[in-house]
A = this chain, B = another copy of it.
Amino acid sequence: MTRHIERQIEQLKEKILRVGTLVEEAISKSISAVINRDASLAQRVLASDEAIDRMEVEVEEECLKILALYQPVAADLRFVIAVLKINNDLERMGDLAKNIAKRVAQLEGATTVEIPPEIRPMAMQAEEMVRECLAAVINGDPVLARRIREQDDVVDDARQKIRKRLLAGIKDHPENVEALLRVNSITKHIERIADMATNVAEDVIYMVEGEIVRHRVDE
């Protein structure tokens, strides 16, 4: 029985890692598609969302199966619950990547509107947070998880800078407001991806240390 649950949990780790890899790729490709105005790459991101959705359902079913059949306690129970929540967040990150990819078609006509190059480093930072939060989950690494929370501020600052430039752009060229707001919403989506990676990191700290840090004022 013990052996059996260990094997199940190993499989669950592999599965959630696969979901994470798909989501990371979707984010990275969606940003490349926006920056290079690459409609066919954007299309591939949209198509990949179905695979992410399917994997999410599989992982959730797997978690419920483990809970029902093996009735884990202590660390195993917390791990399964953390995976359930992370799975949910990863699927939502995938949705955000899909929303970013949708902007490519919407920006097609707006060739005079510049895509701020700062979007790339901002997105790379967010991607790194997603990659690291997954590693933190799999390895149960609260030190890494705490580092992710700090990176979130970097992403927020980058977003505020880009936002200010876009607002100035709207004032100078109000006729471009639709396109500029679409670019703005891309940075908003990246920010939300980073926020969710931060949520996951907080779940990891909880999972390992049994301490809910999400709402602690002192941190």
Contact = CB atoms under 8 A, between A and B. Distances in A.
Interface of A: 50, 53-54, 56-57, 60-61, 64, 67-68, 71, 73-74, 77-78, 81, 84-85, 88, 167, 170-171, 174-175, 177-178, 181, 212, 214-215
A77 to B, nearest CB: 6
A53 B215 contact: yes
A133 to B, nearest CB: 16
A106 to B, nearest CB: 13
The 7 residue pairs across chains A and B that have the minimum distance between CB atoms: A53-B215, A174-B174, A71-B71, A57-B212, A171-B174, A170-B177, A68-B73
Nearest to A184: B181
A71 to B, nearest CB: 4
A167 B178 contact: yes
A103 to B, nearest CB: 15
Query: Interface of chain A, helix or strand or loop or mixed?
Result: helix
A212 B87 CA distance: 14
A181 B77 CA distance: 44
Contact of A67 (B50, B77, B171, B212): B77
A113 B81 CA distance: 46
B77 A68 contact: yes
Contact of A171 (B60, B81, B85, B175): B175
A68 B57 contact: no
Contacts of A174: 170-171, 174, 177
Contacts of A84: 81, 84-85
A136 to B, nearest CB: 19
